[in-house]
Structures are given as structure tokens and as C-alpha cells.
Structure 1
Amino acid sequence: MSYKIVFFDIDGTLVNEEKQIPRDTIDALRELSKTDVEVVIATGRAPYFFKSIAEQLGINSFISLNGAYVVHQGRVLFERPIPRERLEALVVQAGQHGHPLVFEGGETYYADTDSHPHMLNSVNSLKVELPGHDPEYWQKTSIYQAFLHCEAHEEELYAESLPGLRLVRWHKTAMDVLPEGGSKALGIEAMLQHLGIAVEEAAAFGDGLNDKEMLAAVGLGIAMGNSHPELIPHADYVTAHVDEGGIRQGLKHAGLI
């Protein structure tokens, strides 16, 4: 199969645990950029969380916020904000349990606290600037994703009480909150339709729980060697660790470099 487009997750895929892009990954993507293959970032991060990474790699198209905000060469193709009534239910319930929230818009993000350790630990792990403090930000603009800060044993408090929302854990103290049915796969579908590329002509690299749908939505789903164990069964191929040439090995397997 000749692949025409490749989607790359960021954390654990393009960057390692230190949030650095391995030198070999940079070199491999430069080789890929010399071809006619479309290169797209597909991440749970908001656009303002990966601007420097995209610029360093010369990538101008992305699926962000777990498929809720999609841009191709600077043009917004697809948006899927969380319905306001769903956000209100989340705010009420999180407040009852004392769990802080972060609200992610298309241009910036705010938290309903400025000092809770769960929020500080999770956001600092991304090596990005901390959010501003505005508990009512969710009422002022479109919110595409939220962070709900609680530990794994507290997830049951929300398991069946937030209809219309989907929760995906990405940190020991934080979960992404998406619209029900939301995933990177929706963004991929919008991108492929826009470009007129068939599913079979697409490949994707990922490592986390929020990459399950993405790997299933393309012709070749590649899991990094450092992937979460639950992702492996969803992959067509398992490449090496992010720090051990995993991107280059996967691109070679796909016949792209």
C-alpha cells in the first residue's frame, strides 16, 4: 500500500518523557517532508500546547483536543465543542467532590483554581505555561475539552453520572473530558474527507489510551514500543521505543522513507 498521509501523536510518540523530540525523530521527519506525503499532528493537546513542537518539525496541519479542533494548513476544517449544558453538569459535580477543572478553548485555557496540587502536577508534566484562573471561563467561549482532576479510584464518582461526556485518563491525577463519541478518529475522518484520501491510504503513530480509535481509523496503525499495554491489540504494527528510533522504524515499515 502507498500511504498518502501520516498522523502523529505527540506525547510518547513525537516527544519522550522529558518532552524532547529525539534527534532521530527530527531527522526521520525531515526525510518524510521531502516526499508528497501529508504530515499531520493528532493529539489530545490544545494548539497552544504544541506550537513550538509543530514549528520545530515544520508541521502546519493538526488534529487537536482529541479530534474536536482540526486545522489543515491554517484553515479550520472541523470543530466540535462540548455542549454548554454538559459542561454545567460537569462543573456542578466536580465542585461537589472538590475536584478542580481546566477549560480548554481554541485559543487559550483557564482553570477554576490556581493552586490545587492535582492541577499543578498534571499541567506541569506537559512542560507548558500554567492556565489562567477563571472559574467562569466555560460560560464565555466554546470549550472543546476539559481536564478533570481526580485519582483513578475516584473515577467511579463520574462513571455513569455525566451523560454525553467521555472521560479518558492521561495522567495519574487527570482525565480528558470530551464530548461523547469524541476521539481523534473524528478529526481524521474530517481531514481525509477534505483531502480526498481513502482510509486505506492513511497511517498513524500513537502510544496512549486516547489513540485506540485513531489506530483503528487508518489503514496502518502503528503503536510505539513504549505504548500503554492496552493500546497494543489495536495496532497493526509495534515499532521501537520513542527514544530508540521508533518513528524511523515505523516509517520504514510503512515504506515511507
Structure 2
Amino acid sequence: MTIKQIFLDMDGTLLNEQGTVSDDNRRTVADSVCSVTLVSARAPMEMQATIQQLALTAPQIAFNGGLIFDPQTRKPLVHHALDPKLSSNILTILAQKFPQVSVSCYDQADWYVERVDGGILHEQALTRQTPIVIQQTLAQFAQTHSLFKLMLIVDDTQTMQALKCQLDQFTGVINCQQAGNQYLEITSLRAQKAQGIMTLLESSELTLAEAAAFGDGHNDLPMLKVVGRSIAMGNAAPEVKAASQFVTLSNEDDGVAYGIKHYLD
């Protein structure tokens, strides 16, 4: 089956460790005859530079599927925000039981924090964005705002495990995904990468067999399992490689460009 649509995870996949797109990846994506959609846990503002660099015009997927938007107008096409009472409840628990954890929240347009700590400084350097420091608690803020993602940055594996156990009480109510070793991302239960790509394919009258996806993390597994052509990065987790049809080079070695050239033709 001819591939007509490519879905690309960003961090650890399209982007290198400096958070940028290599020249080879940029040229290869630009030269592809396929429509290209980024599928990321990132907010739209954190995706915009890459979208512009690649001159992408197809709808893009943010917040792990919580928001599908037009990259030219930034108009939301599909959106699944967290319930305000639910997000406020979660943020209250985090503040009480995990005060050492770096916590952020996002609406469609902005990034919000209570304080700028080491985790926030790292995220600023990676995404080249600056958060808005609010003058109230995040839990209070969440009560009156439509939030798409709560992001937790954790320094050690013991705290990460404790956080996961604490958030188990919300199983079936939220989507909680670990990204890499330090990030835990909370979105609406309806925010799923696989669901996002199926929605886009249906609107484009394409089948799953006509789609390819590249990814490296556990949150990419659902989309890699449903597309017709699945490509794991060389730096991907072992479970991701095992679930994919092909394994390309790492994100440091232009693995997206290599995969498009060798596995999609």
C-alpha cells in the first residue's frame, strides 16, 4: 500500500537532543510527496517553529491528541481539555504530597507555572518558550481555565514511581503518560495519539494502511500499532522497537530522513 500520510513524534524522534531539526530531516520531509503531521505532547506554541521550518500545512496534533489544530490559522479542529474540577483536584494533591516536583500547566495558547525552578529552566531551554508565572496556586488557576496538559518534571525514579502510584486513583479518568525518564504528562482521557491520527485520516478519506508513523517513546506505542507502516527510532525504548515493523537510525543520526528514504518508498 502506498503511504500518503506521515505522522511524526517530535522529541526523541524528529528533533535531536538540542531540540532542533537537522538539515537532512528538514530536506527529506520537505521533499516528501506525503502529507506530514506532527503528533506531540507539546503545546501548539512549542510546535510552531518546527511547523514553520518544515512549511507544514496539514492539521497538526498537540497534547498527545488533546488538540488538533490548523497550523496556519491556529484554529482548533478537535479539542479535549481536562475537566476544571478534576485538574484542580489533581494539582491540589500534587502540591500537598509532592511539593518538590516541578509542575506546569497549559491551555491552548500559554504555559503557566507558580515558580521557575530547575525543571522549568530546563524546559525553557529545550522549547525556547517562557512560561507565565501566575500569582495564585495552579489549583486555583485550574478552576477557571480550560487546561489541556499538566506536566510534571521529576528528578529521581523513586519520586516518579510514587507519583504514578498516587495518580493510579485517577485511572479511567485521565490519560497519564511518562515521557523519557523525567516527564509525566496528564491529559484528558480522550487525548490519545492513536485516536488523533484516526480522526485526521477519516477527515482526509485515507485508511490506516496508507499511513506511517515514527516514534521513540511509550506514548507512541498506540499510534505505531495502528498505522500501516510503523518505524521506531534507533534510540527508542526496547518495547517500542519490538512493536514496530522497522527500526531506523537514532534521532541524533537523522533517523526520520533515513526511515522515509528506506522504508516508505
Over aligned residue pairs, what C-alpha RMSD do you find? 1.9
One-letter amino acid of the structure 2 residue matched with residue 131 of structure 1: P
How far is the alpha carbon of 1:125 from its aligned partner? 5.1
User: What corresponds to 1:153 in structure 2?
Assistant: 158
Q: Secondary structure at the match of 2:239?
A: coil
How far is the alpha carbon of 1:181 from its aligned partner? 5.3
| Identity across the alignment (%) | 25
Counterpart Cα distance in 1 of 2:83 and 2:217: 26
Alignment of 1:58-97 (within 5 A): 58-60=55-57, 61-72=59-70, 74=73, 75-97=75-97
Deviations 1:123-181 (A, max 9, x none): 13523223111234323331111102334312334242334123222254431112235
One-letter amino acid of the structure 2 residue matched with residue 30 of structure 1: A
Checking the alignment, whether the CA contact within 8 Å between 1:3 and 1:202 is kept in structure 2 is yes
Given the two structures, how large is their TM-score scaled by the length of structure 2?
A: 0.87
Alignment of 1:29-178 (within 5 A): 29-32=29-32, 35=33, 37-60=34-57, 61-72=59-70, 74=73, 75-97=75-97, 98=99, 99-111=101-113, 113-121=114-122, 123-124=123-124, 126-134=126-134, 135=138, 136-150=140-154, 151-154=156-159, 155-157=161-163, 158-163=166-171, 164-178=173-187
Counterpart Cα distance in 1 of 2:89 and 2:219: 23
User: What corresponds to 1:235 in structure 2?
Assistant: 244
Counterpart Cα distance in 2 of 1:255 and 1:127: 29
Q: Number of matched residues?
A: 251
How far is the alpha carbon of 1:255 from its aligned partner? 3.4
User: What corresponds to 2:193 in structure 1?
Assistant: 184
Q: Is 1:219 matched with 2:228?
A: yes
Unmatched segments (≥5 aa) in structure 1: none
Q: Which of 11-20 and 164-173 deviates more?
A: 164-173
How far is the alpha carbon of 1:22 from its aligned partner? 1.2
Counterpart Cα distance in 1 of 2:175 and 2:158: 17
How far is the alpha carbon of 1:78 from its aligned partner? 1.1
One-letter amino acid of the structure 1 residue matched with residue 204 of structure 2: L
Checking the alignment, whether the CA contact within 8 Å between 2:246 and 2:263 is kept in structure 1 is no
User: What corresponds to 2:205 in structure 1?
Assistant: 196
Counterpart Cα distance in 2 of 1:244 and 1:129: 26
Q: Secondary structure at the match of 1:190?
A: helix
How far is the alpha carbon of 1:11 from its aligned partner? 1.2
Checking the alignment, whether the CA contact within 8 Å between 2:85 and 2:142 is kept in structure 1 is no
Given the two structures, how large is their TM-score scaled by the length of structure 1?
A: 0.89
Checking the alignment, whether the CA contact within 8 Å between 2:84 and 2:144 is kept in structure 1 is no
| Larger helix share, 1 or 2 | 2
